[in-house]
Structure 1
Amino acid sequence: MNSKHIIGFFSIIVFLLSCSKDSKTETKSQTTLVKTELGNHIDSLLTPYVNKLRTLTDNTTGLAIGITKGDDIIYAKTFGFANIETQEEASFKTRFHIASVSKPFTAAAIVKLVQQGKLKLSDSIVKYIPEFTMKSDAYKNITIQHILNHTSGIPRHVSADDWLSPKVGINALEENLENVKNFELDFEPGTQFSYSNSAFDILGVLITRVSGMSFSEYVSKHILEPTGMTESTYNKPIDSLPKHWAKSYSYGLTNQEWQPYPHTDKYLPSSGLQATLLDMCKWGIMHVNNGTYNGQEVLDKAHFNKFVEPTYDTPWGDKIGLSWFLQSYLDRPIIMHTGADTGFESIMYIFPDDNISIVVMANRDFARTGRIINAASEVIFNEKPKDYKVSARYKFSETYKSQGLDKALLLWNEMKTDTTDIYYVNDEDILTVGAILENGKHWKDTKEILSYYTTIDDTSTYAWRLLGNAHLNLQDTINAKKCYEKTLEINPNYEKGKDALMRLNNE
């Protein structure tokens, strides 16, 4: 081999090593970003804290934590799997269903329309949606602001089981107008606070009517894109989960997929945004910059202030702005919102006086996102992260899988009297385990665990109905019927019990 070939050979080797190094760097950058002295401090304390908590709660599903200071993302890290079955790790590309943390995006879109001179917060809903009706005439007094601060009186949920029959398309939101017609207000608008998902979904219709664009198009163009949130979306196919979307999980005896995935276009304004970690960090940066991101004005300062200023008292002694809850933690004011649908949790804090934002997202319920965001706050402000208790259900599940129900119950009852460990015991957790197993169609385990639970509480229509489902799927129609009949003994008006019994009798 002559010198020219030797040089060429080594050039190829150097190039391949460089590519390998770049590839590793790219892979690492997709799951971890740590900057500044504060970011390194957070990483040294928060990361092991989170890892320990996840181990104790048997959690291998995805978790994403993002922290910003000023204009910088100083800590961003993902843990676990977006999809356990395919072993796809959660990363900066992963889209999480953020549930009710979607509401401030809807509120921001309304405030943008106010800034554009297209509506006023004091305007009535019927001004823009004249066919909006409810029982009694008080609904005519509902204003846009009433919905934004949860004082409209519209019941929390006016439709059910929409995850099971998801709707897509521009007409999906219009169905909310039909659903609400047969309901009465819970109270006179503006006189009380009561959190309402259904009211927020009416705002999606209003945004469509006023803007001349679909709800998702308007929010994307006027809120997401100016904030640099180009990887987040409202759009999901009905029958599939796109690449890099986190799957929904719950915890029965292990981490198991939860069906159905919580998405329908009817609920886009209240809970429909799918967001990545870095995009949510950008959302936080926009807030600490009073409506501006990277020099791009999303909301002018005057209208941004309207967005986050208090408008009403909450029952727990804090304030609410326009969707954002205005509270405090560690004696510091925070702007915050939580989100939870079965299979997902999310929570966001903004510390306006400190120019800091924190977001935590998870694709499993019982992921302890609230404790994690508080621990992050404690670390940032040089407090020792607080200790925590863990549900004994994880020890129960571990023992049940390895030694059976009798040993698991023996351990459960021993732990009730043990005050020296970190585990707490709540019998309702046994019901939760059974319910999640029923969702996953683990019929034998469901029957065994819920049969025990009904000896603790024989007045739970929910437990008896799910136990009936387990018997039915184990081909035991006699005991299934007894369970369904039991639900109606407890509550003769229990519709799901009636439906189950009717289906059984018709088979």
Structure 2
Amino acid sequence: MMLIMSKIKFRVPGIGLYVIHRAVKPALYVTLLCLSMTKMSSAQPGDVVAAIRGTIPFIDSAYRAFAVEHHSPGLAYALVYRGQLLHAGTFGYTDVEQQVPVTEKSVFRIASMTKSFVAAAILQLRDAGKLRLDDPVEQYIPAFKQQPVPTDDAPAITIRHLLTHTSGMPEDDPWGDRLLDMDAETFYGLMKEGFSFSNTPGATYEYSNTPYALLGEIIRNVTGQPFDAYIDQHILRPLGMNDTYWEYTQVPEALLAKGYRWLRGAHVRETMVGHGVYGAMGGMLTTLGDFAKYMALHQQAWPARNGADVQPLKRSSLREMQAPWVFNTLAEYNGSLTSFAYGYALRWTRDAAQVTTVGHTGGLPGFGSNWMMLPDYDIGLVCFSNITYAPAAAINTYLATEIVRRAALTPRKNPVSPVLERRKQQLLQFLPAWEHAENSTAFSVNFFQDNPIDVLRETSKTVFDAAGAIVQVREFIPENNLRGTFIIECAKRNVEVFFSLSPEPTPRIQQFSLKVID
């Protein structure tokens, strides 16, 4: 149930026309056509929360405009920062006929946003030693043996293939979106006859819903519990997600968002589908408050650190879910070439400015949703709507960018490791003349072979002659524990210094460069 649109438009007050174009299926790229722009002011460094809160009126206005543009009867949305629900907003109706307003307690079907809960359950079982991701599916579902794959050199289909949409199964949104309530007998009947495959397993990425129905059956066969019961007990309840459901008939009628389609200028009610095997790929129903708790779980996985781990899933496993396991495409996205990839039930993007997003879209007849977080900025957005296939990813993508810009947010800084700081201080002792540097233990065995001392002296003299006398040295900006840069402020210009350390037990400087910057 991946949203694929050829062109999506909506107008944002004070900004203009926002257009989404399809690039290479299934990725999207966005172009913002600014008809008018307001001047942004920089946020105070010590008041990030206040700066983010300052964007809320704009956020509310943009979501409202989006709902009107796409004829969504109702909309619910939330902003989460560092695991805290900073703002939630609602618009319109959960029930058009009865004019029931959307509230923060309204329960929406979230479609394929369900998938990451199934993936989390699989990783939880992996962490407990009950399965391995590279085990063949038939080890846990014997009926899956001898599927009619396209070529006889295909590998065995594994759990990892199912997680990453590389099983060779076809994109099946139109078919699968109407079959959430398929029972196990029917599903196993299809399996016995043999599924149709569009690709050789392991050869390429193609988004498909059936693999997640299979993952649900693996959970059942490993634990002895239906997948929904297992997820309830081991993920939802530990997170306090007590207003989350699998069967729409269990939701209090006054809280249930009904789904609609816009047809011939009017809202037409979509029939709600019950829960079944395909519920593992898109059947969950939840509230803003509950889903914010799940977003908070994913946010607190960063940065990697020492200290007690979290429940119900380890930080390392959460980061594993979010990682770009399978490349999808490279496309123009908001004026920048952007890589698109898929993790374990989470979509990953990174643009040329190194801004990373993680999240997932959900779409069913009657509903459209998306959640998205920027791990390096600690912000996340979620949007639920009750109109068929509403392009919620479009508005979330746009607003995430705008929040960063308007609140003047900067990426989370990596801590400077002690060895980096120590090597920095040692390096400064030798700049710019490099006197007696060859005798220092700060450098790895290759360093002076790659950088002859006379060349180092000549290069440094040229750089510092252009920059002038050293005035002060700024703090280190690490890329990781073993590499990074710092700036030396000089009388005329500044000098950027880069170095990286070797993988030895005692890391030493293996690579070095410096350049004059403005």
Pairwise TM-score range, normalised by the shorter structure? 0.5 to 0.7
1:145-184 pair list within 5 angstroms? 145-157=160-172, 160=175, 163=178, 166-167=181-182, 172-180=183-191, 181-184=193-196
**Equivalent-residue separation in structure 2 for 1:143 and 1:212 (angstroms):** 20
On the 8 A contact 1:333/1:352 being kept in 2, the answer is yes
**Equivalent-residue separation in structure 2 for 1:153 and 1:117 (angstroms):** 27
How far the C-alpha of 1:379 sits from its partner, in A, is 2.8
TM-score (norm 1): 0.62
Alignment-derived partner of residue 210 in structure 1 = 222
Structure (1/2) with the larger helix percentage:
1
Quick one: percent identity of the two aligned structures?
26
How far the C-alpha of 1:36 sits from its partner, in A, is 4.6
Alignment-derived partner of residue 40 in structure 1 = 53
Code of the aligned partner of 2:313 = L
Q: Does 1:363 align with 2:378?
A: no
Code of the aligned partner of 1:276 = T
How far the C-alpha of 1:144 sits from its partner, in A, is 0.2
- Counterparts in 2 of 1:46 and 1:222: CA distance versus 1, 3 Å: same
**Equivalent-residue separation in structure 2 for 1:341 and 1:62 (angstroms):** 15
How far the C-alpha of 1:97 sits from its partner, in A, is 0.7
Q: Does 1:82 align with 2:82?
A: no
Provide, for residues 84-135 of structure 1, a one-character-per-residue CA deviation record: whole Å limited to 9, x for no partner.
Answer: 1111111121111111111111100100110111000001100011111422
How far the C-alpha of 1:71 sits from its partner, in A, is 2.6
- Counterparts in 2 of 1:36 and 1:219: CA distance versus 1, 3 Å: same
**Equivalent-residue separation in structure 2 for 1:374 and 1:158 (angstroms):** 22
Alignment-derived partner of residue 135 in structure 1 = 148
Q: Does 1:376 align with 2:376?
A: no
- Counterparts in 2 of 1:353 and 1:92: CA distance versus 1, 3 Å: same
**Equivalent-residue separation in structure 1 for 2:317 and 2:309 (angstroms):** 17
**Equivalent-residue separation in structure 1 for 2:176 and 2:162 (angstroms):** 23
How far the C-alpha of 1:161 sits from its partner, in A, is 7.6
TM-score (norm 2): 0.61
RMSD of aligned alpha carbons = 3.0
- Counterparts in 2 of 1:160 and 1:288: CA distance versus 1, 3 Å: closer
- Counterparts in 2 of 1:107 and 1:142: CA distance versus 1, 3 Å: same
The one of 197, 204, 217 aligned to 1:185: 197
**Equivalent-residue separation in structure 2 for 1:218 and 1:356 (angstroms):** 29
Structure (1/2) with the larger strand percentage:
2
Q: Does 1:275 align with 2:298?
A: no
**Equivalent-residue separation in structure 2 for 1:311 and 1:302 (angstroms):** 15
On the 8 A contact 2:348/2:359 being kept in 1, the answer is yes
Q: Does 1:198 align with 2:210?
A: yes
**Equivalent-residue separation in structure 2 for 1:55 and 1:114 (angstroms):** 44
Extract unaligned runs of 5+ from structure 1: 1-34, 385-507
How far the C-alpha of 1:152 sits from its partner, in A, is 0.3
Alignment-derived partner of residue 263 in structure 2 = 252
SS in 2 for 1:266: coil
On the 8 A contact 2:327/2:341 being kept in 1, the answer is yes
**Equivalent-residue separation in structure 2 for 1:165 and 1:50 (angstroms):** 29
Q: Does 1:326 align with 2:344?
A: no
Alignment-derived partner of residue 300 in structure 1 = 314
Provide, for residues 280-301 of structure 1, a one-character-per-residue CA deviation record: whole Å limited to 9, x for no partner.
Answer: 1111111011199x98512112
SS in 2 for 1:131: helix
- Counterparts in 2 of 1:142 and 1:156: CA distance versus 1, 3 Å: same
On the 8 A contact 1:337/1:347 being kept in 2, the answer is yes
How far the C-alpha of 1:235 sits from its partner, in A, is 2.2
**Equivalent-residue separation in structure 2 for 1:191 and 1:362 (angstroms):** 35
Code of the aligned partner of 1:50 = Y
- The count of corresponding residues between Structure 1 and Structure 2 is 344
- Counterparts in 2 of 1:85 and 1:298: CA distance versus 1, 3 Å: same
**Equivalent-residue separation in structure 1 for 2:215 and 2:372 (angstroms):** 24
Extract unaligned runs of 5+ from structure 2: 1-47, 331-338, 408-518
- Counterparts in 2 of 1:105 and 1:139: CA distance versus 1, 3 Å: farther
**Equivalent-residue separation in structure 2 for 1:159 and 1:77 (angstroms):** 31
**Equivalent-residue separation in structure 2 for 1:367 and 1:327 (angstroms):** 21
On the 8 A contact 2:247/2:275 being kept in 1, the answer is no
